Structure 1
Amino acid sequence: MVIRTVSIIGLGALGILFASQLAKSLPQSDLRILADQVRIDNYKKNGLYSNGELCEFHYMAPEEKSPTADLLIFAVKYSGLEDAIKAVKNQVGENTIILSALNGITSEAMIGQAYGQDKVLYCVAQGMDAVKEGNRLTYANRGLLCFGGRETGVISPKVKRVADFFDKMNLPYIVDADMLKRQWGKLMLNVGVNQAVAVYGINYGVIQREGQARDTMIAAMREVMLLSEEEGINLSEDDLNYWLEVLGQLSPEGKPSMRQDIEARRYSEVDLFAGTVLELGKRHGIATPVNQELYAQIKAMEANF
């Protein structure tokens, strides 16, 4: 089957980024943005802008009936995932393929439990330096999506269908035959860069240079490396250096989602990052003092919201 229709839930930085790119190639009715009516009214009233360009999206409330989507993309925050899983019910059919652009290593299992693991491809969004302020998204690097199946070394027909579709859409991507390791690598990066940038109140430019913030970031990442060995993922120094190179390509003026959340006085994904590390550390009897301190500092910031 050929992918023709796409539904996206979540219009944060990644949701707008993906939707605005797909909107350049898809008929408006074939790209559905799922949102509740309050959000839809707000989007229509105030508009959404991507690098200064007004986004003309086709919005759909969850309860609306329509043919099911060929491709469904989750781009919500982790805190909104459970509600989003319920909201997309009318979009999921027998042949729907699902991608989750969420951070962390758990969203695919949660979505698969609701709609069938066979529908879910594993996915990582990387290389974006998008910043969303109000209704405006700005970015220098649009990044790409990495995706593949759960089974290592296998490129399934569903993966090929998505790759063919992204080729037609001119959407950058990587097909990875070891997505579990890719996801753990992205978790390692997020644990470091998101939390260190938030705690130090800086941007990518500062953490791309030698200094205390970068040292803290790398120390937090190394704790993930230790845990990955216990989980059979075995992240290496080469993996650490790869993700540091990804970080080095981002706009120095940019800042990750956690820093944007703290600035906007929104609760962050610290439980998805340091929280995951602390839980795994306890399970395996491994000390994770750097993430413990970052967790405490970010929770203290949020206590003042």
Structure 2
Amino acid sequence: MEIKNVSIIGLGALGILYGHHLSKQIPKENLRIIADKERIEKYTKEGIYCNGERCNFQFVTPEESVESADLIIFAVKYNGLQDAIKAVENHIGDNTIFLSTLNGISSEEKIGTYYGFDKIIYCVAQGMDAVKEDNQQTYDNFGILCFGEKEGIDTPKVKRIADFFKKVEMPFELDVNMIKRQWGKFMLNVGVNQTVAVFESDYGEIQKEGKAREMMISAMQEVLDLSKYEGINLTEADLQYWLDIVDKLGLCGKPSMRQDMEAKRMSELELFAGTVVELGKKHGARTSVNRELYRRISEMEQAF
């Protein structure tokens, strides 16, 4: 069954990135951005811009009755996931597929528990350096969406999305081991997002030798070590793979946590260092770097 209708919830940097791209590839009536009435009024009045171009979106509230979506993309922050899960209810049909671009290793579990795992495809968004400030989003690198089943790629759901992404020229990659891929991205986020936030810097700061890069790699190493206890078994080669991705990002770009701190919004600290520290307790593993990051970011947030 061909994917025709797409609904997106969340208009942060990634929601705008994918929404703007799709708006140029499919009819406006087939792409819906789900948002509450207050946000829609703001978006309509102020506009939303992607690399200086105003986005042409169709907005719908969660309460509106609409034709079911073939694909629903979750692009909210982790703190808003539970509300987003409920907000997409009117968009779900028998053949709807969910794709989550959220950070971390648990969003698919939460969505699948609520609506059924038969609708879930596991996904990692990587390689993009999108930054959103107010209603302006900019990026140098579009990145790719990596997806697959929990194990394997040879299923009708994966083929439906792959065929659609080819049609709409969305860069993607299939992965037969998405859990390991998600842990790799989690390792990256734990190192990059938190280090750039603490150093109040940008990607350029962690791409050069120095204290920031050392802290980033040390925080990532703690995730690598924990992965062995969890049966994921990340390797030094995996760490280097993700470092190579970091080193290709735009120098002046900033990860989401740094953007949150600049805007004085509570960050995804619990998702990153919070998760690492708890896993450390579970397995009796050393997580001193992430404990320090947790302490410092918590103090920064308390000053808001």
TM-score (norm 2): 0.99
What SS class does the counterpart of residue 142 from structure 1 fall into? coil
8 Å CA contact 2:9–2:75 kept in 1: the answer is: yes
Match for 1:94: what amino acid?
Answer: D
Instruction: Tell me the residue number matched to 1:218.
Output: 217
Displacement of 1:155: 2.3
Instruction: Tell me the residue number matched to 2:256.
Output: 257
Give runs of aligned pairs for residues 260-299 of structure 1, distance below 5 A. Answer: 260-299=259-298
Instruction: Tell me the residue number matched to 2:196.
Output: 197
Q: Which runs of 5+ in 1 are unaligned?
A: none
Aligned residues: 304
Match for 1:217: what amino acid?
Answer: M
Give runs of aligned pairs for residues 28-67 of structure 1, distance below 5 A. Answer: 28-67=28-67
Q: Which runs of 5+ in 2 are unaligned?
A: none
- Cα distance between partner residues in 1 of 2:278 and 2:162: 35
Displacement of 1:154: 4.1
> What is the CA deviation profile of residues 80-125 of structure 1, one whole-angstrom value per residue up to 9, with x for unaligned ones?
0000000000111110010000000000000001110110100000
Match for 2:110: what amino acid?
Answer: M
RMSD: 0.6
Displacement of 1:287: 1.6
- Cα distance between partner residues in 1 of 2:86 and 2:63: 10
- Cα distance between partner residues in 2 of 1:118 and 1:150: 11
- Cα distance between partner residues in 2 of 1:154 and 1:166: 15
What SS class does the counterpart of residue 65 from structure 2 fall into? coil
Instruction: Tell me the residue number matched to 2:98.
Output: 98
Displacement of 1:188: 0.2
- Cα distance between partner residues in 2 of 1:206 and 1:154: 37
> What is the CA deviation profile of residues 241-284 of structure 1, one whole-angstrom value per residue up to 9, with x for unaligned ones?
00000101100010100000000000000100001101111001
- Cα distance between partner residues in 2 of 1:13 and 1:294: 24
- Cα distance between partner residues in 2 of 1:229 and 1:189: 16
Give runs of aligned pairs for residues 5-154 of structure 1, distance below 5 A. Answer: 5-151=5-151, 153-154=152-153
- Cα distance between partner residues in 2 of 1:160 and 1:215: 41
> What is the CA deviation profile of residues 166-208 of structure 1, one whole-angstrom value per residue up to 9, with x for unaligned ones?
0011110011110000000000000000000000111101100
Match for 2:78: what amino acid?
Answer: Y
Sequence identity, in percent?
A: 62
Instruction: Tell me the residue number matched to 1:233.
Output: 232
- Cα distance between partner residues in 2 of 1:50 and 1:16: 7
- Cα distance between partner residues in 2 of 1:46 and 1:291: 39
> What is the CA deviation profile of residues 119-159 of structure 1, one whole-angstrom value per residue up to 9, with x for unaligned ones?
010000001101100000000001111010012x3421101
TM-score (norm 1): 0.99
